[in-house]
Amino acid sequence: MESTVEPRLEWTSDIFPEDHTYLTFLKKVFRHEFRKNGFRRISTPLIEETSLLRKIYPENNNQYGLYHFQTKNDTDVTLLPAASVGIMRAYLENEKFEWLQPVYYYYMERAFRQNRIRKEFYTFGWEVIGESDPVIDAQNIYMIYTALQKIGLWEDIKIKINSFGNAKEIEKYTDELQSFFENKKQVMSEETAENFKNNVFAPFHSKDEDDLILAASAPSIIKFLKKDNKKYYADFKTYLDDLSIPYIEDHTLFFPEDFYTHAIWKFEDSSWEELASGWRYDLLARSLGSPKDYGAAGFSIDSMRIIEMLKEKAITIKNKDHIDLYFVQLGDEAKRVVFPLSLQAREKWINTLTSLGTPSIKEQMLKAQRIGSQYVVLVWVMEARNGIFQVRNIPAWTQEEVKKEELIDYIIGKIWKDSLNFYEPSKDLVQWEIKKDETES
């Protein structure tokens, strides 16, 4: 029967349990890198007032692809296209509360941009605000580099780097590009030629092969850098060399926004599709209305593309959501025996499910097989009364009788202690543990 449910918005996405297994894994990998490098998590609203974002994303430039709408009180708001903007806004509003500069923030959020293949994307990243030093930029690259090595993806990845210079240098470079591309518009793709009217970097952002060939022949910004910025870029590369991080210098690498300075970089896969990008954005604070500039650097990772790569390489993740024990029961009397027993099994760290409701035995067994339960306990009225259960080992196709009071120890002995799920979130509550110890003493 054809569904009458309205489909989701075409620019949004659903993340199902299989992908969440990978996503949770990536969160752990990158959160570990964040924490051991001194970063703390920050979350900002997914929407900001459009008037704030228009300070850095001009309305007449369609390369930004913002999603904005009116609230009930006629406030114009926009879904955040990147976390950096919201984090900088939060920093500027609350800077007085930070005693130590620079600040180290990391985030795991969704972002929205119409000009991406994946218009809604789940991104990880971090920001360092309050300092301008090329070693921070090199550290950002190193952190991603090592994380991707650990999950088996490094051989498929390339790092591109470039410099954005400073405001004066980029202005002179922009004039040079304007002159260079002006009499070559006839060889640009139609879309790039249109975008070029508002952005001289349009050929650099194109996916068209002819546009890319044209962009490669354009002059490099490096010759426009003055002494201090040449040194900054040289030091940036030196730090990468010291860390033995391979990179490609690409003078066509630019981002559409104009608040970047100095080092910019990008991770790409073997198909040149973006996996992560990073930048120094010392001009962002002033662009948002601050009376002064703040040194700032950060990056963003496209977690869903990394998940796709892991799947392409047939890299699987240990699934802690597996079910070790499944109770099949029939009748209210059996249910009253099974229900407390299943709770006791969970307290002993055994991942357990019980068939609820009143489905048939056949339906219950099919469900147990579909979820991949290793052991199935069959409890009908007779078993409930005499306390002797039939325990079926699904993978081995064997079955044994086990007494009710011995069942949990029996299962633990079969699946081994190392397979038990010993994680208990409440143990992270340090204050709770202190009070518990005081009570017990």
Proportion of the chain above pLDDT 70, given as a percent: 88
Position 196 in a domain: no
More confidently predicted of 418 and 184: 184
Which residues touch 425 (CB under 8 Å, ≥6 apart)? none
Half-sphere exposure in the Cβ direction for 81 (13 Å, CA): 19
Q: What does pLDDT average to over the chain?
A: 85
Backbone phi, psi, residue 279, to 5°: -165, 160
pLDDT at residue 429 in the model: 43
Each residue of 166-186: pLDDT tens digit? 888 888 999 999 999 988 888
How confident is the model over 120-134, as a mean pLDDT?
89
The answer to which of 106-120, 205-219, 386-400 has the lowest mean pLDDT is 106-120
pLDDT for the residue 232:
94
Locus of tokens 């699946």: 415
Q: What pLDDT does 356 receive?
A: 72
Indicate whether 237 and 149 sit together in one domain.
yes
Which residues in 60-166 belong to E strands, given as ranges? 68-70, 76-79, 103-112, 120-129, 157-163
Judgement on whether residues 156 and 81 belong to the same structural domain of the protein: yes
Asked whether the predicted pLDDT for residue 424 surpasses 60, the reply is no
278 and 130 in one domain? yes
What confidence score (pLDDT) does residue 68 get?
A: 82
Mean local confidence (pLDDT), 414-431: 57
Question: Per the domain annotation, does 197 fall within a domain?
Answer: no
**Residue 295: which of 70, 95, 74 has the closest Cα?**
95
Say if residue 212's pLDDT is above 50. Answer: yes
Give domain status of residue 335, yes or no.
Answer: yes
Are 265 and 404 in the same domain?
A: no
Looking at per-residue pLDDT, the higher value among 115 and 436 belongs to: 115
> pLDDT class for 104, splitting at 50, 70, 90?
very high
Beta bridge partners, 261, equal 280
Output the pTM of the full model: 0.79
Q: What is the pLDDT of residue 272?
A: 78
Does residue 299 lie within any of the structural domains? yes
> How would residue 98 be classed by pLDDT, with cut points 50, 70 and 90?
low
Residue 410 and residue 294 in one domain: no
Query: Mean of the pLDDT values across residues 29-48?
Result: 90
Q: Which amino acid is at 19?
A: D
Number of domains in the chain: 2
Distance separating alpha carbons of residues 265 and 237, to the nearest angstrom: 11
- Would you state the structure tokens that stand for residue 125, as one six-digit string? 């990243």
Provide mean pLDDT across the span 22-51: 90
Q: What is the pLDDT of residues 352-380, one digit of tens each?
A: 888 776 678 888 888 888 888 889 998 88
Verify that 300 and 335 share a domain, yes or no.
no
**Range of lowest pLDDT (115-119, 161-165, 240-244):** 115-119
Q: Tell me, what's the pLDDT at 418?
A: 53
At 42, list the tokens. 């920050």
Least confident of 60-69, 192-201, 235-244: 60-69
- Does some domain include residue 430? no
**One-letter amino acid identity for 273?**
E
334 closest CA partner among 320, 351, 354: 354
CATH number for the domain spanning 378: value is 3.40.50.800
Distance CA 375, CA 327 (A): 9
Starting at the edge strand found earlier in the chain, the sheet holding 68-70 runs 47-49, 76-79, 68-70
Domain membership flag for residue 339: yes
* Residue 56: CATH number of its domain: 3.30.930.10
**Cα–Cα dist 81/89, whole Å:** 14
Highest mean pLDDT among 129-138, 263-272, 411-420: 129-138
Is the same domain home to 398 and 420? Answer: yes
> Packing angle between helix 407-415 and helix 332-347, nearest 10 degrees?
50
Measure CA 199 to chain center.
29
Same domain assignment for residues 232 and 280:
yes
98 and 129 in a single domain? The answer is yes
Q: What is the mean pLDDT of residues 149-157?
A: 83
CA atoms of 218 and 251, how far apart (whole Å): 9
Q: Is residue 285 part of a domain?
A: yes
Q: What is the mean pLDDT of residues 278-285?
A: 91
pLDDT tens by residue, 51-92: 888 888 877 555 567 888 888 888 888 888 888 889 999 999
Tell me, what's the pLDDT at 44? 93
Structural domain for 387, as ranges = 325-425
Query: Across residues 329-338, what is the average pLDDT?
Result: 87
Residue with tokens 């048939």, as numbered in its chain: 360
Is 396 part of any domain? yes
pLDDT at position 432 is 46
Q: Which of 283, 312, 341 is the last residue of a domain?
A: 312
The reported pLDDT for the residue numbered 114 is 74
Contacts for 177-184 with beta carbons within 8 Å, 24 or more apart? 177/201, 177/218, 177/219, 180/218, 180/219, 181/214, 181/218, 184/214
Residues 289 and 409 in one domain: no
74 and 156 in one domain?
yes
Residue 408 shares a structural domain with residue 265 = no
As a whole number of angstroms, the distance between CA 260 and CA 170 comes to 10
Radius of gyration of the chain (CA): 28
Which tokens is 171 given? 């202005």
